[in-house]
């Protein structure tokens, strides 16, 4: 594992310490690592959504589109959210 030193303003230390305690992290290093990993996942999801959007736009431009069924979309969203 490589090492990277990060300096934060003193005003952030209480916040980081509180997050470490509340989040069950062993150290500030572990907390920062978790933040970076979460950001990586968010960026990957964002890239995937962007690719899907581009694909949909391309299909639409080619005349390959479907009727939008908002009731089905809402139902699927509720199912995914468990509500």
Question: Which domain, by its residues, includes 58?
Answer: 10-81
Contact in structure between 20 and 31 (CB atoms under 8 Å): yes
Flag whether 22 is in a domain: yes
Whether 74 shows a pLDDT value over 90: the answer reads yes
Flag whether 5 is in a domain: no
The total of structural domains in the chain comes to 1
pTM for the complete prediction? 0.67
Query: How many Å apart are CA 75 and CA 71, to the nearest integer?
Result: 6
Distances (CA, A) of 33 to 5, 16, 26, 67: 12, 12, 11, 44
Q: How confident is the model at residue 68 (pLDDT cuts 50, 70, 90)?
A: confident
Distances (CA, A) of 61 to 53, 55, 58, 64, 66: 12, 10, 5, 7, 12
pLDDT of res. 67? 78
Whether 66 shows a pLDDT value over 80: the answer reads no
* Residue pLDDT, tens place only, 9-64: 999 999 999 999 998 899 999 999 999 999 999 999 999 999 999 998 999 888 88
């Amino acid at each position: 594992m490589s090492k990277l030193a990060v300096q934060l303003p003193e005003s952030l230390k209480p916040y980081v310490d509180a997050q470490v305690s509340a989040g069950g992290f062993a150290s500030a290093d572990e907390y920062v690592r978790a933040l970076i990993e979460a950001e990586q996942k968010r960026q990957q999801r964002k890239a995937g959504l962007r690719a899907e959007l581009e694909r949909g736009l391309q299909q639409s431009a080619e005349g390959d589109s479907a009727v939008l069924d908002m009731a089905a979309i809402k139902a699927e969203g509720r199912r995914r959210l468990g509500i």
